[in-house]
Amino acid sequence: MAEFTMDLNDEQKEVRDWLHGFAADVIRPAAAEWDEREETPWPVIQEAAKLGIYSLDFYAQQFFDPSGLGIPMAMEELFWGDAGIALSIVGTGLAAVGVLANGTEEQIGTWVPQMYGDANDVKVAAFCSSEPDAGSDVASMRTRAVYDEAKDEWVLNGTKTWATNGGIANVHVVVASVDAELGSKGHASFIVPPNTPGLSQGQKFKKHGIRASHTAEVVLENVRVPGSCLLGGKDKLDERLARAREKAKKGGERVKNAAMATFEASRPAVGAMAVGTARAAYEEALEYAKTREQFGRPIIDNQGVAFQLADMRTQIDAARLLVWRASWMATTGKKFENAEGSMSKLFASETAKKVTAQAIQILGGNGFTREYPVERMHRDAAIYTIFEGTSEIQRLVIARTLSGLPIR
C-alpha cells in the first residue's frame, strides 16, 4: 500500500509540468474565443490528441498511479487553463469510465477506442444519466429499457438532460431503468452505437459558464440496440436484479450505502477541477494586486487586499489537501467512513466560487469585464457546486454519514 506523502515524485512532477505547459500554451490562448463562440473546441481537442493527452491510455496511467494523485493533479492543471475547454477534453472520460466499470472485456475493446477516435479524426463520447425530473433523485429516472427477446434487442425510450457531448458524440452511454420498482437498483447502462436511429439531440443549453463544453438533451425514441450493448451482459444483469429484489424484501439500506461509496470515490476529481479554477483566479488577482497602483502604492500594500489574498491561498491549499486525502483513500481502498469524498468536493467547489468572486473584487471594474479572465473563471466556478451532486446533497451525505442515518 502506497504511503501518503506530500511530495510528488519525479515522474509526477514531469507529467504536471507537461500538462501545465499545454494548459498555458494551448488552452489559455484559446479560452476567451471558445467561451464566446459557445462551441466545442475541436482544434484544441485534436492538439491534445496529438500529444497523447486526449486518450484513454493517458487517463489510465493517471488512474493507476499508486498514490492516487495522478487524476487530481491532471484535473487541476487542465482546469487551471480553462474549465470549459478542459471539460471538453476530459468529458469523454465519463462515458469511458462507465464502460470500464461495467462492461465486459469485449465491450471495452470494441467501444472505448471509438469514443476517442485518433489524432486525425477525433471523436467524443457522452454519458447520459440525468433527466429533467431525475437529477439528484436518481431513483425517479423515467427512461426505460425493455428487452425484446425475439430479436435480442433492447428498446430505449426517454429524455436525458445535461449530457456533456450529448447529441454530438460518436458513442452514447445511456443509463435506463429496467425495473422501476427497484428504484436506482433497477438501472442498467447501455451503449448506443454511432448513427443509431431514434437518438437525437434535443435542446442545446446556453450556459452561464463552461461554455466551450457542449451540453444538451438527448432524446431516445424507440432506440433499438443489440443485446450485446447492455454493459456487463444480460446474465449479470439478471443476477443483480434478483439479488436486489431479495434484499429489497429484507430492507435494502446496506445496498444503498454501498452504492453511495462509488459516488464518494469519484467526487474528488471534481474537487480537483474546482481547485484548478480557484488557483487560476487567485494567481490573476495576486499579480494584479502587485502591479496595480492606487494612491501611490501597489494595492497589495493595503490590508483589505492583502488579507483577502491570504485567505484565498489558504482556502485553495486546504481544498487541495482534502482532494488529495480523498483520492489517496480511494486508491488505497480506505473506507470513506466520514464521507471524505463528499467533503473534498463540497469544500473545493465552494472555495472556487468564493475565490473567483474575491478575484473580481480585487480587480475592481476590470474584473467585471471580459477583458480580464477572472470574470470567465467566476462564471465557470458556479458549476462545481451543482454537478456531480449539489453542495446541498454533499452536506446531506456528510451529515447522514456522521449521524449513522441511511443515505437515500
pLDDT digits (tens, 9 = 90+) for 57-85: 998 899 889 999 999 999 999 999 999 99
CA proximity to 51, closest of 91, 94, 19: 19
Residue 211 pLDDT level (bands cut at 50, 70, 90):
very high
Is residue 217 annotated as a catalytic residue, yes or no?
A: no
What is the value of pTM for the model shown?
Answer: 0.91
Cell of 20: 501545465
pLDDT of residue 260: 45
Mean pLDDT of the region 139-159: 93
Cell of 91: 468529458
Mean pLDDT rounded to a whole number for the chain: 91
Q: Which CATH homologous superfamily contains domain 255-403?
A: Butyryl-CoA Dehydrogenase, subunit A, domain 3 (1.20.140.10)
Q: Which residues of 133-155 are buried (b: 16+ CB within 10 A; e: fewer)?
A: ebbeebeebebbbeeeeeeebbb
Q: What are the φ/ψ torsions at residue 40 (nearest 5 degrees)? A: -65, 125
Residue 308 pLDDT > 90, yes or no?
yes
Q: Rg of the chain over CA atoms, in angstroms?
A: 22
CA proximity to 218, closest of 208, 233, 236, 204: 204
H-assigned helices in 251-339: 253-291, 303-331
The rounded distance, in Å, linking the Cα atoms of 123 and 171 is 9
Mean pLDDT of the region 98-121: 93
What is the amino acid identity at position 236? K
Q: From the centroid of its chain, how far is CA 352?
A: 15
pLDDT of residue 255: 42
Residue 257 pLDDT > 50, yes or no?
no
Residue 182 pLDDT > 90, yes or no?
no
User: 10-122: which CATH topology?
Assistant: Butyryl-Coa Dehydrogenase, subunit A; domain 1 (1.10.540)
Residues in the chain: 408
pLDDT of residue 269: 93
Mean pLDDT of the region 146-151: 96
Mean pLDDT of the region 190-206: 97
Intervals of CATH 1.20.140.10 along the chain: 255-403
pLDDT of residue 333: 87
pLDDT of residue 251: 61
Residue 138 pLDDT > 70, yes or no?
no
Sign of CA dihedral 335, 338, 343, 344: negative
DSSP-assigned states of every residue in 324-348 = HHHHHHHHTT---TT-HHHHHHHHH
Q: What are the φ/ψ torsions at residue 256 (nearest 5 degrees)? A: -65, -40
DSSP-assigned states of every residue in 59-83 = HHHHHT-TTS-HHHHHHHHHHHH-H
pLDDT of residue 115: 97
Intervals of CATH 2.40.110.10 along the chain: 125-246
Q: From the centroid of its chain, how far is CA 385?
A: 12
The rounded distance, in Å, linking the Cα atoms of 212 and 262 is 29
H-assigned helices in 64-139: 70-81, 83-90, 92-102, 105-116
Residue 3 pLDDT level (bands cut at 50, 70, 90):
low
Classify domain 125-246 by CATH number: 2.40.110.10
Residue 140 pLDDT level (bands cut at 50, 70, 90):
confident
Burial of 51 (0-12, 13-18, 19+ CB in 10 A): middle
Residue of 11, 350, 388, 392 marked catalytic: 388
